[in-house]
Structure 1
Amino acid sequence: MFVILCDLDDSAALWLDARFRDAGQSCTLVTSGLLSFARRRSQWIGRDGTRAVVDLGDAGVIDQPDLVVNRLVSPPVAAWQWARPQERDYAGAEMTAFTLSWLAAVPGPMRNRPSPTCLAGPSPHPLRAAVLAHRAGLDVPDADFGAVTPTLELLEAAVRSGGPAARALHLVVLDGRIVDADGVEQRAGARMPEGFSSAIARLAAAVGAAEGLIGVDVVVAGSRWWFAGMTPLPDLAYAGDALVQALVGLVEKVPA
């Protein structure tokens, strides 16, 4: 069984769920709201490892999934939204802690494991992401990160660096590899610079996504591909069926 964890308004997750089903895969779409109203949540931490079970009632039981694609940004606290503030805050903290622990312990392949700052995986501050991108060998524009929206500042700086011919592209990166690289070059109308794919792999490793599913924004201008930001919530449809095949391949690689 494939499991997709997401928030209710995540259209990319809905797209992936439909594509998995079209490919003949058994898939369960689990929103933060559904997790909030789970029938049972159990976790054992012992000498022989950790085991976790979440019973979603009619939606099924999550205990031994073949693959989990985690895009869960919000903790599952919908069931407590009308509680008194003290109770709501306490329940929210407990559910966040349980979700972090559960996602860290779910067996089998998962993209993405949670990070301390984001349930959906690696989500460094845009300034740190820019520094790591530069160290990885990507072109990074000069940007002023004193603004309220530093991600937008980085994108605007990349567009300014690219000039009038600049084009924005979104890359879906799975385990450090650009998914459907040929399609990316077709959309860009240009070949990737030498060493660009390797630099993306180094960036993924640096942010903790060597085994992860992230999005990287770039601005293309001639032979220069400027780094413009990253996200743990890539727009999956950009990678098309190539992404579905790659995710199914992760399961096929796992020893029986």
Structure 2
Amino acid sequence: MLLVLCPLDDPDGPWFAHRAAARGRACAAVTAEALSFARRHDHRLGRAGEVRTRIELADGVVLDDSALTGVVNRLHEPPALAWSRAEAAERDYAWAELFAYTLSWLTGLRCPVRNRPTPQCLAGPAPDPVHAWAAADEAGLRCAPLRLGTATPWPPADAALAAARAASAGPVRPRQVICLDQEVLDPDVPAETVAGVRRLTKLLDAGTALLGIDFLVGADGWWFAGLTATPALRPGGDLVVDRLLQTLEGR
């Protein structure tokens, strides 16, 4: 069975699950909220490093490692909603423990996973925005000068976007490019930008990952504006569905 993990407010996870099911695959979308209120979590670590996880959801559905053939991971937060009304100290402790548990579970899966979590982000490679900007600049993507300070009116996550908007000459439009295992799934991206995106994934050690690279596109070119480990899948249509299924099925 293919499994899509996503938050309740993520429309792209269930969309992919629906499209995969329409192609004859057994595929289910499970939200972080459903995981939070599961009846049982059974997570075992063996002496030889083997990991075995079995989760029984409230509706009776059972997620067993041995039955999973591929996973699309779009979880930014651990399944800790059930602890939201606990005292702050208990809530923070539960959040940290459930983060570690989810990290261990998804890292230990033997089936293909896009994306495997990192200690910084459960959804996969998501470096600090300044680190991502520096890597994009080194990769040869067009990056506007980045300035951060106490007077900066935006959070660091939006710094590259704001810098690109300030540097662009004339009107621009936002464009997110989906990159899966270093393949840019958009036929309209200029060759030099495609090459830069591939170099960027290598620099970020994200050669086997599903990423969205954000750009502002105008008359003067494609300006790097950030990246995400949970890209919008629906704009990519059948191409994204087919390539992702091929990856999860080892084809």
TM-score computed with the length of structure 1 as normaliser:
0.88
Counterpart of 2:166 in structure 1 is 160
Following superposition of structure 1 onto structure 2, how do residues 5-16 of structure 1 map, counting pairs within 5 Å?
A: 5-16=5-16
Cα distance, 1:163–1:90 mapped onto 2, change above 3 Å:
same
Counterpart of 1:31 in structure 2 is 31
Measure how far apart 1:223 and its partner are: 5.8
Counterpart Cα distance in 1 of 2:233 and 2:109: 23
CA contact (8 A) 1:66 1:251 kept: yes
Counterpart Cα distance in 1 of 2:2 and 2:156: 35
Cα distance, 1:40–1:237 mapped onto 2, change above 3 Å:
same
C-alpha RMSD of the superposition: 1.9
CA contact (8 A) 2:54 2:64 kept: yes
Q: Deviations over 1:169-193 (max 9, x none)?
A: 11111111111x22xx2xxxxx61x
Counterpart check, 1:89 vs 2:92 = yes
Aligned residues: 245
Measure how far apart 1:46 and its partner are: 2.3
Quick one: which amino acid aligns to residue 57 of structure 2?
L
Counterpart of 1:55 in structure 2 is 56
Measure how far apart 1:34 and its partner are: 1.4
List, as ranges, runs of 4+ consecutive aligned residues in structure 1 with deviation greater than 6 Å.
Answer: none
Following superposition of structure 1 onto structure 2, how do residues 1-256 of structure 1 map, counting pairs within 5 Å?
A: 1-38=1-38, 39-47=40-48, 49-56=50-57, 58-64=60-66, 65-146=68-149, 147=152, 148-179=154-185, 181-182=186-187, 185=188, 192=190, 194-222=191-219, 224-253=221-250
Counterpart Cα distance in 1 of 2:7 and 2:53: 21
Cα distance, 1:48–1:71 mapped onto 2, change above 3 Å:
closer
Q: Deviations over 1:45-88 (max 9, x none)?
A: 32163333323352222313111111101111122223333332
CA contact (8 A) 2:41 2:53 kept: no
CA contact (8 A) 2:7 2:74 kept: yes
Gap regions ≥5 residues in structure 1: 186-190
Q: Deviations over 1:134-165 (max 9, x none)?
A: 11111111122333422323212212322114
Gap regions ≥5 residues in structure 2: none
Counterpart Cα distance in 2 of 1:103 and 1:110: 8
CA contact (8 A) 2:123 2:230 kept: yes
